Amino acid sequence: MTSEPNRVVLTLALLALLIVCLGDFASVQANRIVPGQGLGLLAGLGWPWMTGIVVGLLGLAGLALRPTGRRYGLMLGLSGALLIQLPVALAWFIQQHISAEQPYARVGLAASCWSLLFIGALLLVELQQRVVAGRHWVKLILVLLFGVSWLLIGTGALAPLALLREYSSRSSTFWQLLYGHLSLVGGALLASLLIGLLVAWLILRVQPLQRPVFALLNFFQTIPSLALFGLLIAPLSYLSAHSPLLQQLNVRGIGWAPALLALIAYSLLPVVRNTCVALQGVAADVIESARGMGMSGWQVFTQVQLPLALPVIIEGVRITTIQAIGLTAVAALIGASGFGSFIFQGLGQGAMDLVLLGALPTIVLALLADALFSSLASWARAGVQR
């Protein structure tokens, strides 16, 4: 049996090979200020390690030419190995190039390290569907990857990594920002759910309201986020100046208040739109027979409409949450607490590692929210149609 080559894996493997051979693996900086010196695979890790990586990638490409069920298993194994060896390679790199007498020296990740990480992740996504129980193997690989990284971080072997250096000098701020970020997103989510469900309920009852309400929500959505944050400063400052109560609550022109308001304004559209679409999408005959059975209006809503609409409503919440996580990062510009602080500080100081310290957790939060709500939605969908 001849099989088509798997072009995705083939392309990814060759691309990684190209970047790995041409690009720097990591860079060494004597301290935070001086420019770093990039080192390729050979200079950074030595030829045995380099050979391992290159052979691994070549192997992947070779297997992808004539894939079979078994070879897909091998490919998944190779991709996992390429990923899991990364933290070890970094630790090895640090051992080779940083001595204990250099407390300020740091190691930054460079092109080939990043590309191995991302291409490895893409490979996992591609291969997960092609291998029996692929999802479980991918989970195992991720657990191993995090476990190995965690161990190496714990022993201090990775401490000179620039990202970790930035973190260790700011660890308490980091957790504060995480808390600030999560409470803004959570608050906005809660408020927009409450308001959004109410609005959806209202405009489903009073049809003529539908157009103007959607026009307004769409309008909010079109204002650039920075502009909306800015627009809210003046009125909130005014209100705060005239109300001691608001001052006590720390409501000012800048800070959490305008950020929260803007987040709610952005969140309403996906919540209201999905809720409306979902509730309207419940088949008319199902509702008719629910009423015909003698259910009260409330029972029809809670027992029939809501459960049937839930997957689509959750989808709206998912979009809202991911959007709010990103916007909260921007809201740092008007003084709201969140990972955006690191990003903008880092940009100001030209310290890319600090930018990463803000950006990476933001991305991770968004991915986690995506995974959480996707599985919630599929759980709700499973309840709807089996």
Partner 1 sequence: MSDAAMIELRNVSRQFGDITAVDKLSLRIEKGEICVFIGTSGCGKSTTLRLLNKLIDCSSGEIWVDGEDVASLDSKLLRRRMGYAIQSTGLFPHWTVERNIGVVPRLLGWPADRIDARVRELLELLSLPYATFVHKFPSQLSGGQAQRVGVARALAADPDILLMDEPFGALDPITREALQNELLRIQSHIHKTIVFVTHDIDEALRLATRIVVMDKGRIVQHDTPENLLNNPVNSFVEDLLGQGERGLKRASLERVEDFMLPLGAAGLPSLSIEAGSSLRQALSLMLWQRADLLCVRDQAQVPLGILPISALLQSKSS
Binding site for partner 1 (CB under 8 A): 283, 285-286, 288-296, 299, 304, 307-308, 383-386
Contact indicator for 332, 338 with CB cutoff of 8 Å: yes
Q: Which residues contact 86 (CB under 8 A, 6 or more apart)?
A: 113, 116, 117, 120, 145
Tokens of 20: 């790995």
DSSP-assigned letters across all residues of 199-258? HHHHHHHSGGGHHHHHHHHHHHHHS-HHHHHHHHHHHHHHHHHH-HHHHHTT--SSSHHH
* Contacts for 136-143: CB closer than 8 Å, 24+ residues apart: 137/76, 137/80, 138/76, 140/80, 141/76, 141/79, 141/80, 141/83, 141/84
Amino acid at 345: Q
| β partners of residue 109 | 26
C-beta of 38 vs 307, nearer to partner 1: 307
C-beta of 312 vs 334, nearer to partner 1: 312
C-beta of 242 vs 386, nearer to partner 1: 386
Q: Rounded CA gap, 225 and 257, in Å? A: 15
Smallest separation (angstroms) from partner 1 to the CB of 278:
13
C-beta of 9 vs 309, nearer to partner 1: 309
> For the chain, how big is the Rg over CA atoms in Å?
26
C-beta of 130 vs 291, nearer to partner 1: 291
C-beta of 175 vs 379, nearer to partner 1: 379
Q: What are phi and psi of 107, to 5 degrees?
A: -120, 125
Least Cα distance to 198 among 276, 266, 257 occurs for: 276
Smallest separation (angstroms) from partner 1 to the CB of 280:
16
Smallest separation (angstroms) from partner 1 to the CB of 315:
17
Contact indicator for 57, 10 with CB cutoff of 8 Å: no
Smallest separation (angstroms) from partner 1 to the CB of 294:
4
Smallest separation (angstroms) from partner 1 to the CB of 287:
8
C-beta of 208 vs 292, nearer to partner 1: 292
